[in-house]
Structure 1
Amino acid sequence: MDTTLPEAGRLLANSQSIVISTHVMPDGDGLGAEIALYHYLKRLGKNVRIVNPDEVPPRYRFLDKTGCIELIDSRRGDWSRFDLAIVMDTNDPRRLGAMWGIFEKHADDILVFDHHPQLEGVHAPSLPNTLKIHEVMDVKSSSIGELLYRLFHQAHDLLDPSASAFRLSPEIALGLYVSIITDTNSFRYSRTTALSHRIAADLIDFGLQPEEIYQNVYSTKAVDHLRLIGEVLSKVSETPFNGSEKTIAWVEIPKALRVKYGASSDDTQSIVNFLLLIKNAEILVLLREEDDGRIKASLKSKGTRKVSDVAQEFGGGGHDFAAGFTASGRLADVRDKLLAKLKESL
C-alpha cells in the first residue's frame, strides 16, 4: 500500500528490530541510503542490521567505516522474527535475491523506499496478500538519498522528539551524498532536482569533502581497466532510426574481454556514460556478458525517449530514461533483439 513519509516515520518509530537490504549488484544509491538510514536508526537506539544479497563493490567499501554491512549466508537458518524489513531502491522483490525469502518469512512489516516506476501487467511480481508491505514511492525523486533526507526532516518529531530539528552526522551525510551523486551521475541526469543541489549544499556546509568522495567513487580504475575502456570504445556502433540523424549508440563487452584486462562487471558500469558524449545518439546501450554467461543490458536516454518500457519487455525495469535487464542467450542474439525492439519503440 502507498505510504507517506510521516506514515513511514511512524512505522520506523514503532519498530525496534529492523533489517535493511538493497538489490543485487548494489550501487551507490542503495548502499549510500542503507548507510544513512542505518546510522540514523542506531542513533535512535534501534536494533538494526544491514544484510545484502551481494557483496559491496570495492569502490563503495569506504562507505562502511564501521563494518556494519553483512552479506547474507544462505546456509544459516538462525533468523528470528523482527519488526520491520526495509527495502532500498527497488520495488521488485526478485531483485533482492535470497533476502526476499528472509523478509517474507520473518518480517512483521516490509517498508519499501523506491523511485522507480512500478512494474505492471505480466512484468509485475506476484506477492502474497498476507504480506504487510508499505511503499514510499516517488518517481520524481533523484535518488533514495533525497527521499530519506525528506523523511528525516518531515518525520523527525516522530522519530527523534528530543531534538528540535533533524541532525546530521558524518556517517549519515556521507551516505546521503553518495546516494545522490551516483544516481544523478554527478547532477547530469534529467531527474536531478533543485532539491538535489540544496541537499548537496547542506551536506557540504556540514563538512563533507566532495573531492575526497569523488576520488573514492570514481578514481578507482587500474591502468588495465582504462585500456579495456579504450578497446570497448574503439568498437562503438551507431544505428540510425526513423530516417533521421538520431542514432542508437551501443557497445558490447564479452566476458573474455573483461578477463583479458582483469576487470569485474562493476569496473565496466561507467562505460555507458561515455556514450552520452556522442552528438546525435539519443539512446545508449551497453551489453555485457556476466560471469554466469547471462547478458546484462544497460539502457540510457538523453531525456527525450523512454527506455524503461523496452527494458520491461525483457523482464527488467528502471527509470524512464535509465533502465536495464538481464537475459539468457548469446550476446549477438540479445543485441539483435534489443536493437529491433528499440527501433520499434522509437
Structure 2
Amino acid sequence: MTDRTARPDGSGAVTAGAPGETDWAAAVAAVRALPPDARIQLICHVNPDGDALGSMLGFGLGLRQLGVRRLRATFPGPPEVPEPFRDLPGLDLLVPEEEAYPAPELVVCFDAASESRLGALVDRLETAGCALVLDHHASNTMFGGINLVDPRAAATSVVAEELLTRLGVSLDAAIAECLYVALTTDTGSFRFEATTPAVHELAARLLATGIRPGDISRRVFDTRPFGAVRLFGEALGRARLEPEAAGGRGLVWTYATLDDLARHGQRPYVLEALIDSVRCTAEADVSCVVKQVRPGEWAVSMRSKGAVDVSRVAVALGGGGHRFAAGFTGRGTADEVVAGIRAELDKALIGA
C-alpha cells in the first residue's frame, strides 16, 4: 500500500513523492495490530552508516518503550559496528544476521534503497507477515508491503522519528542520541543542502532531551586511529583531477585497496570518511572514492556540489542514492570502474 500523493513540507511548498496519510496510517496499524508475543525484525543496509544504524536502533528503542519484547536488529555481512558508533544506545538489540528471526510477524527495513542492499536477509521480505520500509532515497524501488519513503527527508531518521511520534513514543535521551547521530551523519553535521529549518527543529527536539552534541560530534566526525590518518594521506596522495570531465565541471577521484587497509592495520569502515577529504577539491564538481571490498570488486562513493546528479550515474551503474550523494558496486580494476563513471557524467548534468 503506497499513496504517492503530494503533501506540504515544512516550508509550505508541495513536494511529490512523500508518504501520504494512508501510508502513515498503514504503518501505525501494522505495528499496533501485532500480538504481544510478535517477533519484530529490524534490518538496515549492508556496511551500515550512522543514519542506517541510528535510525534502526532509535526505532528499536522506541518499540521497546511501547512494550515490544521479541525484538532483534541486524544488518547483512560481518556483525562489526564501525568504531564511531560503538557507543550508541540500543546496541544490545543487535544480533548477527544468522540469528535474525527467520519468519517474523513484522520486518522493518531502514535506509535501504533496494532489496539488494539487504544481502542474504532479503528473504525476510517474503517470510515476514508484513514488510515495512523506512527510507529517504529518491531511487528507492518501493520493495516493501508498506513504504514510508520520503525523498525530501534529510535522513531516514526523519522518517523514523515521525513514525515514532505517530505511535505515541516519547523521546528520551537514548532514542534521541541514536536519531541525532543519524541526522548529523546524513546532513554532514548540518552542512549539506538537505539541512532545512525542519531539520534544525528536529535537532532541537533531540537536543532538548539532554544529549551532548559536542561529545557526539567528536566521536562521529573528529576521531580516527593514527593508522587511518596515514592511510588517508596515502590515498589523497594518489588522487587524480580531471578538469574536463562532467562537461568541464571536473572530476576528482582516488582509491584504496585491501592491501592499503592491511598495511595500515585498518578496518574497511574507516574509508567511509575519505570522501569528505576528496570532495573539498575546488576544481571539481564531482568527487569519487573507489574502495576495494574484494579482488575485482569496489564500493564506490560519489558526491556532487550541484552541477551533476550523481544518483543518475549510480543508477546507470547498478546503484542508487541522492542527487548529490550516491554510490554503487563496481567491478574490474579501479581505472575501469572510474571509466564507467566518466562515461555517464555528461548525461547526468543538471539542466542539460
1:80 is displaced (CA, Å) by 5.6
Q: Which whole-Å CA distance do the structure 1 matches of 2:125 and 2:316 have between them?
A: 27
* Structure 2 residue 165 is matched with structure 1 residue 148: no
Task: Tell me the percent identity.
Answer: 29
Q: Match for residue 231 of structure 1?
A: 234
> One-letter code of the match for 1:144?
T
Q: Match for residue 135 of structure 1?
A: 147
CA contact (8 A) 2:60 2:90 kept: no
User: Quick check: 324-333 or 233-242, which moved more?
Assistant: 233-242
Q: Which whole-Å CA distance do the structure 2 matches of 1:297 and 1:270 have between them?
A: 13
Q: Which whole-Å CA distance do the structure 2 matches of 1:27 and 1:66 have between them?
A: 14
Q: TM-score, normalised by structure 1?
A: 0.87
Q: Match for residue 59 of structure 2?
A: 37
Q: Match for residue 42 of structure 2?
A: 20
Residues 222-251 of structure 1 show CA distances to partners (whole Å, capped at 9, x for unaligned) of 112111111211222111237976311111
| Structure 1 SS opposite 2:179 | helix
CA contact (8 A) 2:242 2:251 kept: yes
Q: Counterparts in 2 of 1:194-205, with a 5 A limit?
A: 194-205=197-208
* Structure 2 residue 192 is matched with structure 1 residue 170: no
1:185 is displaced (CA, Å) by 0.9
Q: Which whole-Å CA distance do the structure 1 matches of 2:348 and 2:109 have between them?
A: 32
Q: Counterparts in 2 of 1:245-264, with a 5 A limit?
A: 246-264=249-267
Q: Match for residue 13 of structure 2?
A: none
1:190 is displaced (CA, Å) by 1.2
Q: Which whole-Å CA distance do the structure 1 matches of 2:108 and 2:122 have between them?
A: 11
Q: Which whole-Å CA distance do the structure 2 matches of 1:141 and 1:180 have between them?
A: 10
> One-letter code of the match for 2:31?
L
| Residue number among 128, 134, 137 corresponding to 1:113 in the alignment | 134
Q: Match for residue 99 of structure 1?
A: 121
1:95 is displaced (CA, Å) by 0.8
1:198 is displaced (CA, Å) by 1.0
Q: Which whole-Å CA distance do the structure 2 matches of 1:344 and 1:114 have between them?
A: 26
* Structure 2 residue 188 is matched with structure 1 residue 185: yes
Aligned pairs, number: 324
Task: Return closer, same or farther for 1:61/1:242 CA change in 2, 3 Å cut-off.
Answer: closer
Q: Match for residue 343 of structure 2?
A: 340
1:206 is displaced (CA, Å) by 1.5
Q: TM-score, normalised by structure 2?
A: 0.85
* Structure 2 residue 93 is matched with structure 1 residue 68: yes
| Structure 1 SS opposite 2:138 | coil
| Structure 2 SS opposite 1:90 | coil
Q: Counterparts in 2 of 1:43-62, with a 5 A limit?
A: 43-46=65-68, 47-54=70-77, 55=79, 56-62=81-87
Task: Return closer, same or farther for 1:79/1:270 CA change in 2, 3 Å cut-off.
Answer: closer
1:57 is displaced (CA, Å) by 1.8
1:35 is displaced (CA, Å) by 1.0
| Structure 2 SS opposite 1:238 | strand
Q: Which whole-Å CA distance do the structure 2 matches of 1:294 and 1:102 have between them?
A: 26
1:58 is displaced (CA, Å) by 2.4
Q: Match for residue 89 of structure 1?
A: 111
CA contact (8 A) 1:33 1:88 kept: yes
Residues 61-84 of structure 1 show CA distances to partners (whole Å, capped at 9, x for unaligned) of 2114552111111xx6x9464321
Task: Return closer, same or farther for 1:276/1:223 CA change in 2, 3 Å cut-off.
Answer: same
Task: Return closer, same or farther for 1:67/1:138 CA change in 2, 3 Å cut-off.
Answer: same
* Structure 2 residue 277 is matched with structure 1 residue 274: yes
CA contact (8 A) 2:71 2:93 kept: no
* Structure 2 residue 66 is matched with structure 1 residue 9: no
Q: Which whole-Å CA distance do the structure 2 matches of 1:243 and 1:330 have between them?
A: 21
Task: Return closer, same or farther for 1:41/1:257 CA change in 2, 3 Å cut-off.
Answer: same
Q: Which whole-Å CA distance do the structure 2 matches of 1:305 and 1:220 have between them?
A: 31
Unaligned runs of 5+ in 2: 3-21
Unaligned runs of 5+ in 1: 161-165
1:262 is displaced (CA, Å) by 1.5
> One-letter code of the match for 2:104?
F
1:10 is displaced (CA, Å) by 2.0
CA contact (8 A) 1:6 1:151 kept: no
